[in-house]
Amino acid sequence: MNMIFKDRFNNKVAIVTGAAQGIGKGVAERLAKEGAKTILVDRSDLVIEVTKSLQDQGLDALYVTADLETYEGFQKVVNETLKHAEHIDILINNVGGTIWAKPFEHYQEDEIIKEINRSLYPTIWGCRSVLQPMIANGGGVIINVSSIATRSINRVPYAAAKGGVNALTASLAFEQAPNNIRVVAIATGGTEAPERIIPRNENPMSEQEKVWYQQIVDQTRNSSLQKKYGTVEDQVSAILFVASDEAKFITGVTIPVSGGDLG
């Protein structure tokens, strides 16, 4: 059952990346229902349909399509947001996700680069792009969606990218605390989610890749004290709590939401 705190984000302007599906979609929907002017961002046009659904409910939602693997792409998001709102209060950096599942010796050079580009750079560019508007506004909140996969198997490049997200979170929070900007990471554990409409890897897995992926699933479940996967709503609730004023004394940390797996 979704717990909606109707007015928790009244008068807040929130950007959510990767908002077309999965955790990002859930976060954007809850933010809008809890009063935020919500900017849904994705490179897929699927984000238009999600935004229209919110608008049809009378909620304050806009979309921007952009490639967030580039600084220029994220600057477009910020510029479009500031056309429709006078400030930016919250950024949820949600873009990321492992593309391949296999032991590191089987990764090719271009695959490693693509993993880092997908799961590290959108968060770096997002943090950089919103800083000046947040500083000018007297503060803000940045939530970086990380992963417990920093201690995992068969996805080393992804683990390295999320380790970078955790370090970015700690260092940026240290630096920006005088500007009243909080920075927190949520390390998601194994999460049961609807099948992706647009898969991260366009090529179907080989039989060997299916075995390697199952090893990830088994290791993730076994590493959890609760021995299970969580739900999208588990992640959404944690992200929204940390983004809210209820968590105003929390910054500079990576919080695992993973049934006890510390990553």
> What is the three-class DSSP state of 235?
helix
Q: Pick from 63, 7, 12: which is nearest to 36 by CA?
A: 12
Task: Enumerate the active-site residues.
Answer: 158
pLDDT of residue 196: 60
Q: Pick from 233, 235, 225, 241: which is nearest to 182 by CA?
A: 241
> What is the three-class DSSP state of 191?
strand
Distance CA 255, CA 238 (A): 9
Provide the residue-wise pLDDT of the chain in tens; the chain has 263 residues: 566 787 999 999 999 999 999 999 999 999 999 999 999 999 999 999 999 999 999 999 999 999 999 999 999 999 999 999 989 999 999 999 999 999 999 999 999 999 999 999 999 999 999 999 999 999 999 999 999 999 999 999 999 999 999 999 999 999 999 999 999 999 999 999 877 666 666 778 899 999 999 999 999 999 999 999 999 999 999 999 999 999 999 999 999 999 999 98
pLDDT of residue 195: 74
Q: Pick from 156, 146, 154, 262: which is nearest to 218 by CA?
A: 154
pLDDT of residue 201: 64
Distance CA 247, CA 163 (A): 23
Q: Which two tokens stand for residue 81?
A: 């947001």
Distance CA 41, CA 68 (A): 9
Burial of 45 (0-12, 13-18, 19+ CB in 10 A): exposed
pLDDT of residue 223: 94
Residue ranges of domains in the chain, CATH in brackets: 13-257 (3.40.50.720)
pLDDT of residue 65: 98
Backbone angles phi, psi at 179, to 5 degrees: -95, 10
pLDDT of residue 60: 97
Concatenated DSSP letters of 25-89: HHHHHHHHHTT-EEEEEESSTHHHHHHHHHHHTT--EEEEE--TTSHHHHHHHHHHHHHH-S---
Is the torsion defined by CA of 3, 6, 8, 11 positive or negative?
Answer: positive
Sheet of 181-188, strand order: 61-65, 37-42, 13-17, 90-93, 140-147, 181-188, 254-257
Q: What are the tens digits of pLDDT across the range 119-159?
A: 999 999 999 999 999 999 999 999 999 999 999 999 999 99
Residues 169/180/75/188 CA torsion (nearest 10 deg): 30
Q: What are the tens digits of pLDDT across the range 179-191?
A: 999 999 999 999 9
